[in-house]
Structure 1
Amino acid sequence: MNKQLKVLVIDDSPQSREFTIEYLLKPNNFLVEVAEDGLAGLSKALKSTADLILLDYEMPKLNGLQVLRRLRACGINTPVILMTSHGSEQLAVEVFLLGVQNYLTKPFTVEGALKAIEDALRVTRLEKEKQELLNRVLQANQELKHQLNVRDVMYQIGKSITLIHPTQTLERIVDAALFLTNAEEGRLFLINPRTGQLHAPIERKKAGPAGAEKGVRQISVALEIGEQKVGTLSVKIATQGLRDSDWAEYEQMLHLLAGYANIALQNLGYINQIQAQKEQEKQMIRSVFERYVDANVVEELLRRPNQIKLGGRSQSVTVLFADLRGFSIFANRTSPEKTVDTINMYVEAAVEAIFKEHGTLDKFIGDAVMAFFNAPLPQSDHVLRAIRAALGVKQAVTDIQRQLLPEYQLNFGIGVCVGEAVVGNIGTSKLMNYTVMGDSVNKAKRLQEHATGGQILISQETLNVIQPYVQVRLIGQPHLKGQAAEEPVYEVLGLKEEARDELFTSANQSFALATMTS
């Protein structure tokens, strides 16, 4: 017996109490609590942490049956063994209906009482194990059913449902099958989908001496997902002393547990499928974006894949075009190798400045670079990021020129424009690019064409958003190709002091509101 088990003895007979405590409980290492009448016993039982109650039937104040009824009315389900000197069949039926685990007629033997105690505690553990297993499996299945259409949420729930992974649930099911059927062995077999062969990933054997010389009978039930057989749940049970009704009961238990195993296997399949989908999604994100954006942005996309919408949609973006001025003349008087090395040096500097502001590189067009901001991840300050990127390109070119001879000193003309554009994967089934299209793209290109080397030109719409944060000068109202009317164009000279370290939000939100209401 467990040394830590506590027994509450409720008995008004000193002789009976002495026998029970000194000859039954203490020699078997039980902790003991005592009550000398029914009322005192009820009071102690309501407060006690006892694992078992030995309850006398005939007592003053409250008899055993009255104590038992009040305990059950109060929701106390501690196992009870009733002790009486005058038993009857009617009394036995009544107390068993109230949940009494066993019934001892005085005088009883130590051996008989110990067996009754052991049986009562074993039944309690069995019921607790069955209920715990049932609740966890049903809860896991119910939660997954509600989350099947939400892949990311389902994946997280699948890992943490009741803190038990489906594999652990399957192990618990085999343990329960061994315990409930009193089997010598329990196994869960699964069919290898590639070979069709059975293998047993989970095996359990009863502790103690092997029953090799006993007659053994095996019960097996199929494990199925839908109409597909995926394995079996099997136990081997010693046949000695068992009746036909026992075998029917064991088979029924095994079918119940197999049903739970089917749910766990299905949940495990869902988890594996979602893990594969998540990995496939990550690979897709990497393949689409690692060429266009900084590595830190790729990692952020992997953490927040729900933010990505690859299908075409209209939204506000800020577009940046940068083109090397004088490159054609430079290329005509320079060797091809030196030409490529030089253009790569300038373009790499421009891309680094764009990536620093978490811009998305759209494409290279000869000696020109196109980028955009506010996609694929939203950026509340995307206009200011584009301006900082343009100024970063300008500064990077200045740094490069300090290291080169005059004949290798080139410069970018840059155009920046904010507005609505269609964003998404555009192309054919064989070749697609994540890009933007729209009037804001065309206008940024025309502004870049109008800019001289070292100039950053912006539209009136762009200035309206960031005017409090940049230093500009009006260069006039040139006619931009493709635009219906002339409009002011401004050169960005730099950032105002208060905008250098400020994350820009309010002005850009005003622009977003204006575009929604226009």
Structure 2
Amino acid sequence: VYVDSRINANLFVPKHRELLLAFCNQAAIAIDNARLFADLTKTIRKVNEDKQYMDNIFASIANGVITTDSSGIVTTFNDAAARILRINPKSAVGRHYQEVFTERAQVGLADLLQNARIYHEHGTMVTNAVDCVIPGAGEVSLNLYVSALRDTQNALIGTALVIDDRTEIKRSEAQVKEIRRIFERYVHPKVVQQLIKDPMALNLGGETKEISVVFADIRGYTRLSERLAPEQMMNLLNSYLEIMVKEIWDEEGTLTAFIGDALMAIFNAPLPQGDHALRAVRAAWKMRLAVQKYQQDQPQEIAIAFGFGVNSGLGVVGNLGSQGRLQNYTAIGDAVNVAARLQQNTLDNNILLNHSTFLQVRQHIIASRLPPMNVKNKTAPLDVWSLLGLVE
């Protein structure tokens, strides 16, 4: 600060200098305070931004995160923890964890946090898996991870709890296991993989849909069983049925039943197949060729003739049987019955198609029309075709 007069000299004495010095000191203090206030404001703003950043992180984490201070007061309770435990975070923060978790005693959180505070060193992660029922959420499967937080002097400063909700993963695993249990024996592995990828495409409770059904049956089974020992008959059946099942699987059909010396397969279930009728017809034709080739390659085997019936129409498909004991994915209805009746009326190694199937595949096959056929439990005769080959 510079003070002077151009008119009069020696206006200021030492006491004025002291006054001016005091004024300058006060001004310097005021400037420093203003600078400190600006730094404090900047620091507070930074702290608030960091807090908001951390809050956003906690809110976006899929796992539940809960923290307490050294006295056990809940300091953090993110949205995921609220969703998993069905506890309002506003009512949890600021209360002791023992009080908060009383209503969720079945999860065991209070004991887990208490043990971590007493026994565990800084950074030690303690895990626990819990399967229980939470009101509003139903049966849940949780993995719990808790850690005691300590400072450099090993004094407890709090605890951190992470809750990993494994419920949906466990449900998916159980669903995959159930799909494999039901279908691995009946359908091509590729179909099983498609069902696992899209379980919602599956309706095990039963649904009505258009299907194509193939029945295959040994001709003269009774005579054969009289000639052969039971073990020989079983081995012979298995040899033929194995090569026939392969052709069904190649067309991604679903094998629903072995009925003595007969087998039944359906198409367009469990997964939709726009060309299900053609797949069924191709499977029947390929089974016939495979049986004939096997007999040529194995002349020592006893020759067996088969009859095939193919029909398309509405059927009810789903799990049938005793729940919890023995169930089978299959189809019932008139479409199934007609296919079985056609098979019963075939000659050796012939394939009969009902008219409903023929209409869907006529551009792809060679067939001859047969006289109207009367079959059991049908008042009107069936319009039937004999399959002679496939169009190349």
**TM-score above 0.5, yes or no:** yes
Contact 1:313 1:422 (C-alpha < 8 Å) held by counterparts: yes
What does the per-residue CA deviation read over 1:53-77, in whole Å, with 9 as the maximum and x for residues that have no partner? Answer: xxxxxxxxxxxxxxxxxxxxxxxxx
Residue 237 of structure 1: how far off its partner (Å): 9.4
- Superposition pairs for residues 366-515 of structure 1, below 5 Å? 366-405=260-299, 408-429=302-323, 430-497=325-392
- Superposed, 1:113-128 pairs within 5 Å as 117=39, 119-120=40-41, 122-128=43-49
Q: 1:338 aligns with which of 219, 232, 253?
A: 232
Tell me how far 1:423 sits from its aligned partner.
1.1
- Aligned AA for 1:281? Q
Contact 1:177/1:235 (8 A) holds in 2? no
2:255 maps to 361
Corresponding residue number in structure 2 for 1:241: none
* 2:209 paired with 1:315: yes
CA–CA separation in structure 2 for the residues paired with 1:475 and 1:457: 9
Residue 432 of structure 1: how far off its partner (Å): 2.2
- Structure 1 gaps, min length 5: 1-84, 89-103, 139-161, 179-187, 206-224, 239-253, 498-518
Report Cα offsets for 1:355-405 as digits up to 9, x if no partner.
111111111111110111111111111111111111121121122111223
- 1:185-196 matches, within 5 Å, as 193=108, 196=111
Is residue 191 of structure 2 the alignment partner of residue 297 of structure 1? yes
Task: State the 1:428 CA deviation.
Answer: 2.6
Match of residue 241, structure 2, among 338, 347, 353 = 347
Aligned to 1:150: none
What count of residue pairs does the alignment treat as equivalent? 314
2:286 is paired with a residue whose SS is: helix
Render the CA deviation track for 1:193-231: whole Å, top value 9, x for unaligned.
3994444499879xxxxxxxxxxxxxxxxxxx889xx99
CA distance in 1, matches of 2:220, 2:45: 89
Tell me the secondary structure at the aligned position of residue 379 of structure 1: coil
Q: Deviations over 1:124-159 (max 9, x none)?
A: 342223223434555xxxxxxxxxxxxxxxxxxxxx
**Counterpart for residue 145 of structure 1:** none
Write the distance in 2 (CA, Å) between the matches of 1:273 and 1:476: 60
CA distance in 2, matches of 1:350, 1:333: 23
User: Matches of 2:377 and 2:53 in 1, distance apart?
Assistant: 72
Measured after TM superposition, the shift of residue 456 of structure 1 is 1.1
Please name the residue that 1:166 is paired with.
63
Q: Secondary structure at the match of 1:424?
A: strand
Q: What SS is found at the alignment partner of 1:443?
A: helix
User: Given residue 296 of structure 1, which amino acid in structure 2 is its aligned partner?
Assistant: K
Cα deviation 1:164-213 (Å, max 9, x = unaligned): 4416x558x99x969xxxxxxxxx999973994444499879xxxxxxxx
TM-score by length of 1: 0.53
Contact 2:66–2:75 under 8 Å retained in 1:
no
Q: Secondary structure at the match of 2:237?
A: helix
Tell me which moved more, 446-455 or 403-412.
Answer: 403-412
Aligned-partner SS, 1:453? coil
Distance change >3 Å, CA 200–CA 407, structure 1 → 2: closer
CA distances 1:266-303 after superposition (whole Å, capped 9, x unpaired): xx4xx311111111111111111112112221111111
TM-score, L = length of structure 2 = 0.68
CA distance in 1 between partners of 2:145 and 2:212 (Å): 58
The one-letter amino acid paired with 1:483 is K
- Equivalences for residues 248-287 of structure 1 within 5 A: 265=163, 268=164, 271-287=165-181
Distance 1:326 1:313 in 2: 36
Separation in structure 2 between the aligned mates of residue 385 and residue 105 of structure 1, nearest angstrom: 92
Q: Output the amino acid matched with 2:45.
A: T
Where 2:312 maps in the other structure, the secondary structure is: strand
Paired residue type of 1:123 = I
Q: Which has the higher contact order (CA 8 A, sep 6+)?
A: 2
Contact 2:256 2:264 in 1 (8 A): yes
Tell me, what secondary structure is at the counterpart of 1:372?
strand
Q: CA RMSD in A?
A: 4.2
**Residues 214 and 264 in structure 2, CA contact (< 8 A), matched pair in contact too:** yes
